[in-house]
Structure 1
Amino acid sequence: MATRAVTQLYDDTLKPLGLRGTQFTVLAALMQTGLIKLTDLTNVLSMDRTTLTRNLKPLEEQGLIEITVGEDRRERLVSLTPQGRAVVEEALPLWEQAQTKMVQGLGAEAASTLLALLANSTQIVQGA
């Protein structure tokens, strides 16, 4: 229930740009990585390939990302388009507003503890 509520906050905040929180996360990761293999992006985002592919499809249809074939024909490369970069730059202040709302609601110490617990949880799951 808490996960859905937090997701809804970010989705509602990014809605004016036609983005969901998960889509923003993908775009922000691509902004940092640049051109990246699809398999490497799954690792960066700790997301399985099927879920990532499902998130990439609408972004590609909107012209925010480009998926090309790598040297190995089986390999897919993902990158932001100029339009995608512009959307990330426009979305970042909105994401920061949602983040500020969460921190203010929880309090700085609780927010810091929560982030540490989530990071530890991710490490445990990835190590399993």
Structure 2
Amino acid sequence: MLGADRTTLTAALKPVQRRGLVTVGIDANDRRSRRLKLTRAGCALLARAVPIWRRSHAKIDRLLPRGGSDRLRDELRALI
């Protein structure tokens, strides 16, 4: 569960689908639910994005005081 309503998730997903990065199928166990699957293009984009994400987070971790990353995450979670 992502903590977002169906309308918000659908709106966010449409551009990703149009770009061919994900496919949407019906869940075999619960036809009301949908299963998302990354396409090859989606997997390739994710593979390129993860190292960038890791470098960005490492830089933030270096800039924050000791324990600052954990505190920042906790405070961001509290906003939800």
Q: TM-score range by the shorter chain?
A: 0.7 to 0.9
Following TM superposition, the consecutive aligned residue runs of length 4 or more in structure 1 with deviations greater than 3 angstroms are none
Give 1 or 2: higher helix fraction. 1
Identity percentage of aligned residues: 32
Q: 1:92 to 1:108 in 2, by over 3 A?
A: farther
Residue of 43, 48, 65 corresponding to 1:85 = 43
Q: TM-score with structure 2 length normalisation?
A: 0.76
Q: TM-score, normalised by structure 1?
A: 0.51
Please tell me whether Structure 1 or Structure 2 has the larger radius of gyration of its CA atoms.
2
Two-structure CA RMSD over aligned residues (Å): 2.0
CA distance in 2, matches of 1:88, 1:66: 15
CA–CA separation in structure 2 for the residues paired with 1:101 and 1:64: 28
Structure 1 gaps of 5+ residues are: 1-42
* Unaligned ranges ≥5, structure 2: none
SS in 2 for 1:68: strand
Q: How many matched pairs?
A: 78
Higher-RCO chain (CA-CA 8 Å, sequence separation at least 6): 1
